[in-house]
Amino acid sequence: MDLRTLGYFIAVVDEGSVSAAADVVHVTQPAISRQLRQLEIALGVDLFIRQSGRLTLTAAGRQFVPHAREVLRVANIARVAARTYAAGRLESITIAAPTTTLTDVIAPFLSALDADDPMPTLIDSDSGAAFDSLRQGVDLVIATEQPPDALAGLPIAVLPIWAYVRDDHPLREQSGVSLTQLENETLLVLSRNFKPRQILEAAAERASRPLNQLIECSNPQVAQALAAAGRGIAVVSDDPRFELHPLEISGPDGPLRIRLFAAWDPRHHAVETLVDLAGRLEAFVAARYGSSQSDRIGTNGDR
């Protein structure tokens, strides 16, 4: 069976006769009758009782009607989607990003989407897995690593890694903190698969400043909650919570920073839409956190 024949079948059901259906679908009555016969042969069941030139649905025919309607409905959705793809548009978009980025960057950005922007779906993913996910249906990745050469990309932001302290902490009055000052503090850090932890430890190693008291936390919010409870200094890249005070951390090469990149498959059918969203996200981050913290960084975004 084919979609056109199913359409003739539904037209006859809806219009009540072959002649009325022929007027609607602009096909001759004999052609519709032949198509209905072929449909019945293909299905192996009679759909109509034919008496005195009139067609009446059989029991099987009545039960087949909703299935035929569903097939035509889904086929129409597919046709509309294909036209959208051909025009380079997206009805929906899947974005993968690390937990903190989803919470503090992507979610606020989504609140400012326009009505005609694609409907977003978000996936929590670290950078390595996120890049791989572009081969599995993800449209846009926001990562803390520069995209590989095979991908197109755009730098989104350069943001601080903070040391969060309570108002009564001795370091509270400072504008920043050095690795030397953190050396013997209790630091509430994330696991090693989180970029802020990697950047902190790499800087400490370069500065030959061992961090002696690390308490590993399951997520950034927990680290800040424990800092608010006076259990140590939270070292994360999240926005402040629990009325904590942020201090920029200075390493041997300057303030510790985390970089965000957008990446996508350059062969994606909606590249222009992805480039537009990535550019708007970059502008949003600059407006939200300040342009000094979204400095340009080298990437393969010109491809």
Tens-digit pLDDT string for the chain (303 aa): 688 888 889 998 888 888 888 888 888 989 988 989 998 898 899 999 888 778 889 999 899 999 999 888 888 767 766 665 655 566 778 888 888 888 888 889 988 888 888 888 888 876 557 788 887 888 889 888 888 888 888 999 888 999 999 999 999 999 899 999 998 899 999 988 888 899 999 999 998 888 889 999 988 999 999 999 999 999 998 889 999 999 999 999 899 998 999 998 888 888 888 888 889 899 998 888 875 444 443 344 333
Where do the domains of the chain lie?
A: 3-86, 92-159+258-293, 162-255
Instruction: Report the alpha-carbon distance of residue 173 to residue 169 in Å, rounded.
Output: 9
Q: What is the pLDDT of residue 302?
A: 37
Amino acid identity at 288? R
**What tokens appear for 125 in the block?**
């993913």
What kind of fold does domain 3-86 have according to CATH? Answer: Arc Repressor Mutant, subunit A (1.10.10)
Q: What is the pLDDT of residue 134?
A: 82
Q: 0.75 cut: is pTM over it? A: no
SS3 category, 265: coil
Do 3-86 and 92-159+258-293 fold alike per CATH? no
For residue 301, CA distances in Å to 26, 174, 188, 267, 276 come to: 52, 38, 35, 14, 12
Asked if residues 138 and 214 have their Cβ atoms less than 8 Å apart, the reply is: no
- CATH number for the region 162-255 comes to 3.40.190.10
What kind of fold does domain 92-159+258-293 have according to CATH? Answer: D-Maltodextrin-Binding Protein; domain 2 (3.40.190)
SS3 category, 140: strand
List strand residue ranges (DSSP E) for 180-243, in order: 186-190, 213-217, 233-236
Q: What is the pLDDT of residue 256?
A: 94
